[in-house]
Amino acid sequence: MTNPIGSSIFAALAMTSVALAGSNDPKNTNSNGNDPKAPQDGGVKISAEAGKGITVQGDNFRLNLSNRLQVNLGYSANEGDVEDTFGVKMRRARTMLQGDAYKDTVHYLVQLEWADDMRYRIAQDDPDNEAGNLGNLLDGLLMWDFMKSDDMTMTLRFGQGKTLFGQEATDGAAGLEFIDRGLASRTYSAARSGQLQVVGKMGTGAFRWNVGMLNNDVAAGAIGSQRDDSPNLSNEMNWVAGASFGSGHDEMYQENRNQGALVAADETMWVANLKVAYGQNDDADGFAAAEYDAFTLNASGAAVMGRMHLLGELFYRDESADAAATIESKSFGWQGQGTYTLEKGPSVQWAGGARISGVHITDVDAGANPILWAAALGEATIYEFQLVASAFYSGHNLKTQIGYTLQNIDPDSGDSTTNHVFELQSQIIF
């Protein structure tokens, strides 16, 4: 069942936006690194830019409207009892409204997802979408620069959005070099949550940090992050803190930032990050109505050298569930990737890359792990090796990608399986 009201709204928004995509100029951005600042003179200006949608600017006010579509054709050849799959899916269909108000010190972000979210529907016992939950709210954030000077900016981040845990997870999905995020990133990060955080940057922005509290677990593969927009189920919160340092923050690490070296870097740019999260999650609808504790650590780094982009991440997790019998487990994940982008031709710019990622579930007491879905078989090792070829017609705003994934699942008890996934995906931002 679809949502006719949501579909009508999306159609109206799409009609008002501009078609096809253009460049991503990081210059003249607001404190979040997104779009041009509101003009300080009087009057209202309306502009339309390829790939960035429509922007309305007034005196101390800015509103930008844009839309994104990701369409995917995929074939999965699976071993074991899992049936092969082949078909087309709408991976993402999103509308974003963002801007500034009140002398460029208050910022806002609202993002809606119009594509069917199967994982959400299964978690809510609604696989047929009878509730008509198209138009899920992904982001609804109010950001206030309560301290702003030449040497420091401190921003209050209040609402629902990305947890800012994990480098690839914090990067915008629109700007990924691969068809989707890596296995370790999808398992240990890539979640959204209700939150209250303070985000800061020092001096020229080479050092940045964040600290705050979250409703949900930071790991998208955990039962405590099944819903992005749910209220906290208990009086215990999750806590997150992190710091990053480097010369390439604006180009390489932020929300809405793009991966890759579409423009050759004259000098090497790099960013290093360290993140930590801890909290208690009351999963009343999950495994034995368990409350569980989880400690998750992330270290990551990225560099751009000429036309080559390198990115690597490490994750460690220690968790315990207070169910009928106490269940404890430890796990770690890792991923590394590299891509190379050719010079832009008359109409297309080509790129290619490789990535390898792993998740290792170890030290599982009581024979099963109810917390990370990737460990449904208890102790196990999962690997993914991926290749991608990308055709950028107008940067990340208009691109087509072909990807191959070799996945191997090797449980400590039972037979290992190897799966092959072939994907063709196109994206347009308008």
Q: Say whether pLDDT at 36 is over 70.
A: no
For the stretch 381-429, pLDDT in tens is: 999 999 999 999 999 999 999 999 999 998 887 788 999 999 999 999 9
Residue 41 reports pLDDT greater than 70? no
Question: Which residues are CB-contacts of 328 (< 8 A; sequence separation ≥ 6)?
Answer: 318, 319, 320, 321, 363, 364, 365, 366
pLDDT band at residue 96, thresholds of 50, 70 and 90?
very high
- Of the given ranges (70-79, 92-101, 278-287), which has the lowest mean pLDDT? 278-287
pLDDT 10s digits, 253-267: 667 678 888 989 999
> Is residue 9 helix, strand or coil?
helix
9-13, 49-53, 183-187, 232-236: range with lowest mean pLDDT = 9-13
The model's pTM is: 0.85
CATH superfamily, domain at 68-94+143-429: Porin (2.40.160.10)
Question: Per-residue confidence at 329, pLDDT binned at 50, 70, 90?
Answer: confident
Per-residue CA distances from 212 to 111, 156, 159, 160, 279 (Å)? 21, 10, 12, 13, 12
**Reported confidence tier of residue 328, pLDDT bands at 50, 70, 90:** confident
What is the pLDDT of the chain when averaged over all its residues? 82
**Contact criterion met (CB below 8 Å) for 214 and 279:** yes
Q: Which letter, b or e, does each residue of 354-377 get, where b requires 16 or more Cβ atoms within 10 Å of its Cβ?
A: ebebbbbbeebeeebbbbbebbeb
Residue 323 pLDDT class (50, 70, 90 cuts): low
- Structure confidence by residue, pLDDT tens digits, 103-137: 789 999 999 999 875 444 444 444 444 444 445 88
Residue range 335-379, pLDDT digits in tens: 999 999 999 999 999 999 999 999 998 877 654 555 675 545 578
Q: Where are the domains of the chain?
A: 68-94+143-429
Where helices occur in 27-154 by DSSP H, the ranges are 118-123
